[in-house]
Structure 1
């Protein structure tokens, strides 16, 4: 069994606790939290497992890493925790294989900026751990799935990856309101939508797909469109969003090949279905991830996942976490290093079919 730590218990961390507990090759060794109110609470309660797991959450990072766990699921948000790179470096130097969605530039680690890549490689050399970064949007929807589906076509003109979501189900108000701008006046400039930021976040996945397809990118471009709410709406998790404030966002990060957008990651997100009704909507009105291969034949694959009482955003988190957690035993057997989605194979659910943890 591979002793595994879950670091952080937000949207991603809750799913990670469940994924580690369900994996037959892993054992939950510790749960690290930053909120003092969570210290001492059982991991099963924090993860929504439905039973106690006998692992009490702690904020003692030094003690947890001193025990030299074999793996760490780093689930703290890189958006709002500036120490994420340093945290991950500490875990790698302690000899752990680390999986995380928190360091966007390392989605395509070979082309990551030296100021991010070099500290990770130094930690690997010092401690013998490893790192695999894959997105929570989810990563597989912007790398391995579109690449797999592209191989089914005879002619491929455009690869388009879409996230289409109603953010009223998303339980991270800080990100929804302030990073993305939902509920703010239309002249508010949210950080996540600022020029070049979408490329910073998703450009690595564009470059990763281009590398796998053996094509040269001319450049990466962005498009952006925002819509205001025509009426006030109230959400279950985040309260009211006023009329006239931002209610929907649609943007693309485009990989340009021979002057044309050929590899596209598109996000269409709303705080309520009534906003921007002319934009694409998910089949159930709540959320989906979609891959469209424009070519011959045209291929469209839509993935809907739900978790935590049919919550679509939680389902997306859970599948992203599943990709990361399922990679741990492969990484534990591989040599120490810095890995990306083209290095780490998709792992089948060995030992989990039809079984639930006792």
Structure 2
């Protein structure tokens, strides 16, 4: 069994605890928490399971890494603390662990990552013999392996479009929803996630990754952003009221331009209520979906709806992203130490999971 640490117990960490517990090749060795109120609580409780796992959460990073775990699922956020996330991740790699994480956006396409990010990771790999695989939580497979797989079914291809469409009403990260994305803020407020160049910083690596796989040269990467106000005040159970006239919906694209035309596009359409911007793309039903559209001959459209933690589709997206990361651990442990991306790490069948019941 591969001893595995889950570092962080938010939206991603909860799903990671469940995924590690369910994986037939992995053993949950420790759960690291930042909040001292979570220290000592059982991992099963923190992971939303209906049984205990016999692993008490701890905030003692030194002790957890000193035990030489073979793998770390780094589930702490890197949105507002990228330097801290990088330091944590390189620390785990130096301890000899395989690390999987969504936290370092620029390493989605690790070959073209900036030297100031790539070089510390490579140095840690050389020192400790660990590995790193970064894949997105939005989810990564929806912006790399899925569209690339489907593209192989086409005769001719004009545009590859990857969409995330979500209503954030049930999303359990109020600071991110209100301040990073700007929901409920005045329309002249500048959300950090929508500032010029930030969408490219986050999703440009996946555009470059797909272009590399498809064998095409990008002229440039462009961004488009549109925002809509709420017509009426709406109330959410998790985050309270969002006032009429404040931002209620966002639509942006990160476009990979090939020979002057947008050919590889990652598009996000997010709302705080379904009444806002009803003319924009919507999910088939419920509060969210991921969609890949291949414009060409034939035209191909695939929509993926995942639910977890009840009927929560935001949690379902997190869970599938985590499934991609956790499912890569045993492959990475068997591979040579290194820095890997989605084109390196295969997406494999769920061997040993079908019908499997955990005690």
For residue 50 of structure 2, give the secondary structure of its aligned residue in structure 1.
Answer: coil
Q: Measure the CA separation in 1 of the matches of 2:210 and 2:31.
A: 34
Equivalent in the alignment of 1:298: 299
SS at match of 1:19: helix
- Identify the residue that residue 57 of structure 1 maps to in structure 2: 57
Relative to the length of structure 2, the TM-score reads 0.99
Indicate the residue corresponding to 1:72 in structure 2. 72
What's 1:317 paired with? 318
Q: Deviations over 1:233-273 (max 9, x none)?
A: 01121111000000000000000000000000000000000
**Range that drifts further, 282-291 or 257-266:** 282-291
Distance 1:94 1:318 in 2: 27
Equivalent residue number for residue 194 of structure 2: 193
Residue 270 of structure 2: aligned partner: 269
Q: Distance in 2 between matches of 1:356 and 1:279?
A: 41
- SS of 1:185's equivalent in the other structure is coil
- Corresponding residue for residue 220 of structure 2: 219
Partner of 1:235: 236
Aligned counterparts, 1:21-170, within 5 A: 21-82=21-82, 83-170=84-171
Mapped partners of 2:91, 2:269: distance in 1: 36
Matched position secondary structure for 1:38: coil
Following the alignment from structure 2 to structure 1, what is the Cα–Cα distance between the partners of residues 185 and 60?
37
CA distance in 1 between counterparts of 2:163 and 2:145 reads: 14
Structure-2 separation of matches of 1:50 and 1:271: 30
After TM superposition, the runs of 4+ consecutive aligned structure 1 residues lying more than 3 A away are none
5+ residue gaps in structure 2?
none
Aligned residues: 358
Q: 1:356, CA displacement in angstroms?
A: 2.3
What stretches of structure 1 of length at least 5 have no aligned partner?
none
Residues 273 and 285 of structure 1 are in contact (CA less than 8 Å); yes or no, is this contact kept in structure 2? no
Report how far residue 285 of structure 1 moved. 3.5
Q: Using the alignment, how far apart are the partners of 2:281 and 2:352 within structure 1?
A: 38
Deviations 1:33-65 (A, max 9, x none): 000110000000000011000000000001100
Q: CA deviation at 1:81?
A: 3.1
CA distance in 1, matches of 2:271, 2:357: 35
Q: TM-score, normalised by structure 1?
A: 0.99
Aligned-partner Cα distance in 1 for 2:185–2:267: 22
Separation of aligned partners in 1, 2:161 and 2:50: 38
Q: How far is 1:355 from its partner?
A: 1.5
Q: What secondary structure sits across from 1:324 in the alignment?
A: helix
CA distance in 2, matches of 1:194, 1:236: 28
